[in-house]
């Protein structure tokens, strides 16, 4: 027998040297779930996380922010990704994320397992992202506020435009049951798929105005007024964002949850106290508005 044949898995398989948040193909996720090793130290972290996460499920709480700290290369991003799979209870090749943990007995404490089952069986949108890659600005100066990035990924999760003006339009059309009609009508009139072409909105404003009028959503005057507003920088405060999230959760059902899992937050903030305050206020306002559901 050769040494390589002594191992359970092929030793020449592709192994990711660095965990990247954007790697979300099913084969890669399966490998991560199968091969994730829950060390003695991680057993404690899973216990602490899920015992506290449970508080927002069985009751109301405004204490729902979690900061994952550790040295470079200590596994923070990997831990965050695994949490996202579990909270969403993602199905990978016909098996739920939690089942990968249960079948391999990765978690030893039965109480932790019960807390994990409670979390995994609660309908949840887990939004996992690298904040720097979702920010429109880079470098040490002029970085996007954390609020702007959160709003962008929140809209993106709902398959709305990453442009906040367009996302608000799509959200309102959805609420009034006209979004599907708008997309169909837009393609029929202009021979353009809305989702594939909305990023070119500034060149197609007249087309959008015509479609909005055609589906009786707005008068032409109102539609043109709205079109002009899209040239003005978008403004929303943190309280308004928290209200948007609460509205979304209320529409999804009383038991629904949403979790923002942000990679490289510490690196992004650095020593910028304004960004740290921005993050702190978002956490507080989501806690007040959503009571532990976000």
pLDDT score of 9: 63
Q: Per-residue confidence at 63, pLDDT binned at 50, 70, 90?
A: confident
Residue 222 lies in a domain: yes
Q: Per-residue confidence at 136, pLDDT binned at 50, 70, 90?
A: confident
pLDDT score of 87: 96
Q: Is the predicted pLDDT of residue 48 greater than 90, yes or no?
A: yes
Q: Is the predicted pLDDT of residue 13 greater than 60, yes or no?
A: no
Strand duo 257-263 + 124-130: pairing:
parallel
- In terms of domains, do 185 and 138 share one? no
3-state DSSP assignment of residue 261: strand
- In terms of domains, do 133 and 62 share one? yes
pLDDT score of 15: 57
Residue 189 lies in a domain: yes
Choosing from 229, 264, 280, the residue where a domain stops is: 229
Residue 237 lies in a domain: no
- In terms of domains, do 131 and 271 share one? yes
Residue 240 lies in a domain: no
Residue 151 lies in a domain: no
- In terms of domains, do 139 and 25 share one? yes
- In terms of domains, do 25 and 113 share one? yes
For 193-207, what is the mean pLDDT?
95
Residue 96 lies in a domain: yes
- In terms of domains, do 10 and 113 share one? yes
Residue 276 lies in a domain: yes
- In terms of domains, do 22 and 126 share one? yes
Which long-range contacts does 13-21 make (Cβ < 8 Å, 24+ apart)? Answer: 19/75, 19/77, 19/78, 19/81, 20/77, 20/130, 21/77, 21/80, 21/81, 21/128, 21/129, 21/130, 21/133, 21/263
Identify which has the larger pLDDT, 3 or 74: 74
Per-residue model confidence as pLDDT tens digits over 19-29: 556 567 788 89
- In terms of domains, do 270 and 134 share one? yes
The residue segments making up the domain with residue 41 are: 3-144+253-290
- In terms of domains, do 18 and 116 share one? yes
Q: Tokens for 127?
A: 């939004």
**Quick one: the chain helix, strand, coil %, rounded to 5?**
60, 5, 35
pLDDT score of 71: 86
Distance CA 174, CA 187 (A): 17
Residue 239 lies in a domain: no
* Total residue count of the chain as it appears in this document: 294
- In terms of domains, do 30 and 168 share one? no
- In terms of domains, do 52 and 134 share one? yes
Distance CA 146, CA 131 (A): 8
- In terms of domains, do 100 and 136 share one? yes
DSSP of 180-239: HHHHHHHHHHHS--HHHHGGGGGG-HHHHHHHHHHTTSS-HHHHHHHHHHTTSPP---HH
3-state DSSP assignment of residue 97: helix
Q: Is the predicted pLDDT of residue 157 greater than 90, yes or no?
A: yes
Distance CA 36, CA 30 (A): 10
The count of domains in the chain is 2
Q: Is the predicted pLDDT of residue 139 greater than 60, yes or no?
A: no
């Amino acid at each position: 027998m050769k040494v390589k044949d002594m191992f359970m898995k092929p030793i020449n398989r592709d192994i990711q040297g660095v965990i990247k948040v954007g790697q979300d193909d099913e084969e890669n996720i399966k490998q991560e779930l199968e091969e994730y090793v829950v060390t003695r130290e991680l057993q404690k972290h899973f216990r602490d996380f899920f015992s506290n996460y449970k508080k927002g499920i069985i009751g109301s709480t405004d204490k729902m922010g979690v900061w994952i700290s550790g040295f470079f290369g200590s596994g923070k991003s990997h831990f965050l990704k695994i949490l996202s799979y579990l909270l969403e209870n993602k199905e990978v090749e016909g098996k739920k994320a939690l089942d990968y943990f249960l079948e391999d007995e990765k978690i030893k404490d039965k109480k932790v397992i019960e807390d994990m089952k409670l979390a995994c069986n609660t309908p949840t949108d887990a939004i996992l992202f690298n904040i720097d890659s979702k920010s429109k600005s880079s470098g040490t100066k002029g970085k996007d506020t954390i609020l702007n990035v959160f709003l962008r990924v929140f809209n993106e999760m709902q398959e709305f435009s990453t442009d906040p003006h367009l996302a608000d339009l799509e959200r309102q059309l959805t609420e009034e049951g006209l979004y599907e009609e708008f997309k169909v009508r837009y393609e029929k009139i202009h021979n353009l798929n809305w989702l594939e072409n909305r990023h070119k909105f500034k060149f197609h404003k007249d087309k959008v105005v015509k479609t909005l009028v055609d589906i009786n959503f707005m008068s032409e005057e109102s539609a043109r007024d709205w079109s002009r507003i899209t040239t003005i920088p978008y403004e929303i405060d943190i309280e308004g964002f928290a209200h948007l999230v609460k509205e979304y959760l209320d529409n999804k059902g009383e038991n629904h949850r949403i979790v923002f899992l942000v990679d490289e937050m510490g690196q992004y903030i650095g020593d910028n106290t304004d960004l740290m305050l921005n993050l702190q206020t978002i956490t507080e306002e989501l806690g007040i508005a959503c009571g532990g559901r976000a």
